[in-house]
Amino acid sequence: MRYIHPQHVQINLCLIHHRSHAYDEPTLDTTRTDPHPCCRFAVKAGAKHVIGVDMSTIILKAREIVEANGMSDKITLLQGKMEEVELPFPEVDIIISEWMGYFLLYESMLDTVLWARDRYLRKDGKGLIFPDKATIFMAGIEDGEYKDEKIGCMSTLPLSTSLTR
């Protein structure tokens, strides 16, 4: 049984919700891990053609799966960095990407998505990016044990040592 990331399901729902959007140009998937589930969802939602880009060798297995599902004529999978591959179409209607990292920023691919947006997203203002919003919730806390471990060790320095000079 294959695990499907919850975000793939959310993106699928977004695509179905926006099914009325004109799919004149292809959809671009710039996911950082295994693009084929999102690509298949986009095809099932009505995308004319979907392009998946990934640097890893998982793209080779993804191509086999796409072919086994009879979607080779609708999905093109490219191996390489988004900024270095040449897409088979000059524009796309929708960009789908799992761009957020931990806390939205760590290991983020936002810069890649923005590059793809500027280079490939249709220029008439009707292009879409999924997900298109993110919220960071933050709360200040103090972890006394962690603080003592990392900073408290200063109190065990020899008395003749001064940290002020």
Q: For 133-137, which contacts have Cβ atoms below 8 Å and span 24 or more sequence positions?
A: 134/100, 134/104, 136/103, 136/104
Beta strands in the chain (DSSP E): 27-29, 50-54, 75-79, 94-96, 128-130
Q: From the candidates 107, 142, 145, 149, which is the catalytic residue?
A: 107
Query: What is the C-alpha separation between 131 and 134, in angstroms, rounded?
Result: 8
Is residue 107 part of the annotated active site? The answer reads yes
Buried b or exposed e, range 93-103, using 16+ CB within 10 angstroms: bbbbbbbbeee
Instruction: Considering the candidates 86, 98, 142, 145, report the single residue annotated as catalytic.
Output: 98
How far apart are the two ends of the chain, measured CA to CA in Å?
62
CA Rg value for the chain: 22
Q: Which two tokens stand for residue 145?
A: 């044990």
Active site residues: 98, 107
